[in-house]
Amino acid sequence: MRPLIAGNWKMNGLTEDSANLARAIRSGLGDLAPEVLICPPATQLAAVAAILDGSGILAGGQDCHTKRHGAHTGEISAAMLRDAGARYVILGHSERRAEQGETDALVAAKVEAAVAARLIPIVCVGESAADREAGRQEAVVGRHLAGSLGAEFKGVVAYEPIWAIGTGRVPTSADIAAMHAFIRTELVRAQPAGAETRILYGGSVKPGNAAEILALPEVGGALVGGASLVAEDFLAIIRAA
C-alpha cells in the first residue's frame, strides 16, 4: 500500500501564507511516490484545494460536525468540507479531545458523518505521558479504537502519543513498532477491513527521523504537524517515505 504523508496545519497561517506554502509543496513534489495530503485551516481549504488541483496532492479538513446541516452555529459539516475540496478529514485529534472534550462516541459519530459525505476519516488515537509511564498505553489506545471507529471502519488510523506531539520527543522505534502491531491486531480482530487499514504514526516527525519511523513494520505513513508548515521539511519527510 502507498504510504500516506499528511500535513496538519492546525490553526496556523493566513490565506497568503497558506497559498504560498501549498504552492511551494506542489512545486517541490515532482513525481514522488507517496500519497500526500494537506489539511489547512477550514477558511483556507477551498483556496488550498484549488492550488493543489491536478497535482495529486489532496486536501483535507481538521474536524467536522456530526450533522449534515442545521442550527449549529460556528460548525462545519463533512459535506461542506467535501464541497470545499476535501477528500479526507482528521477526527479525534488529541487537541480536540483535550480542548473540546471530544469523546470516543462523538468521534465515532463524526466518522459516520464523514463517510456519508464521501470523506476518508483519519482517526487519531494515543496515550498521555502519564498513561505511558503507568504502562497503560495499550489499554488507552485499545479503548480509543473500540470507541471511535464504529462497526465497519473504512479509513485511516493515526497513532499519536500525546506526549510526542509538538514536543520533539519521539517513542523509540521498538515502542512505535509494538504499538502499531497492537493496533493492527485490534483492527484485524474487530474490523472487517482491519487488515488493509493504513496506520500512520504522528508526533514530532521531522526530516531527521522520518526515514527510520516510516520503515517500521505496520507504519503506513505519517501525520505531521509542525514540520508540515515548512515546505522543505515536509518535502524531506515525503522523500523519506
User: Annotated active-site positions, please?
Assistant: 93, 160
Nearer to ligand PEP, 79 or 144 (CB): 144
DSSP secondary structure string for all residues of 47-64: HHHHHHTTSS-EEEES--
204 binds ligand PEP (CB under 6 A): yes
Return the closest-CA partner of residue 12 out of 229, 233, 234. 229
63, 102, 127, 160: residue in contact with ligand PEP (rule CB under 6 A): 160
CA 143 to chain centre: 18
CA–CA distance, 43 with 45 (Å, rounded to integer): 6
CA–CA distance, 89 with 45 (Å, rounded to integer): 11
226, 234, 238, 240: residue in contact with ligand PEP (rule CB under 6 A): 226
Q: Which residues contact 99 (CB under 8 A, 6 or more apart)?
A: none
Return the closest-CA partner of residue 83 out of 111, 62, 112, 61. 61
φ, ψ of residue 75 to 5 degrees: the values are -95, 165
150, 171, 194, 225: residue in contact with ligand PEP (rule CB under 6 A): 225
78, 111, 156, 223: residue in contact with ligand PEP (rule CB under 6 A): 223
Residue 83 CB coordination number (10 Å): 12
224, 231, 238, 240: residue in contact with ligand PEP (rule CB under 6 A): 224
- Give the cell for residue 114: 464523514
Binding range to ligand PEP, per CB under 6 A, among 32-40, 62-70, 109-117, 217-225: 217-225
Report the DSSP beta bridge partners of residue 200: 158
**With contacts defined by CB under 6 A, how many residues of the chain interact with ligand PEP?**
13
**Taking the complex as a whole, how short is the minimal distance between the CB of residue 201 and ligand PEP, in angstroms?**
9
For residue 236, the one-letter residue type is A
**Taking the complex as a whole, how short is the minimal distance between the CB of residue 224 and ligand PEP, in angstroms?**
5
**Taking the complex as a whole, how short is the minimal distance between the CB of residue 73 and ligand PEP, in angstroms?**
26
**Taking the complex as a whole, how short is the minimal distance between the CB of residue 151 and ligand PEP, in angstroms?**
26
**Taking the complex as a whole, how short is the minimal distance between the CB of residue 31 and ligand PEP, in angstroms?**
25
What phi-psi label fits residue 233: left (phi over 0), alpha (psi between -120 and 50 degrees) or beta? alpha
62 binds ligand PEP (CB under 6 A): no
Nearer to ligand PEP, 79 or 124 (CB): 124
Find the residue with minimal CB distance to ligand PEP.
Answer: 225
8 binds ligand PEP (CB under 6 A): yes
| DSSP 8-state secondary structure symbol assigned to residue 155 | S
Catalog residues that contact ligand PEP under the rule CB under 6 A: 8, 160, 165-166, 202-205, 223-227
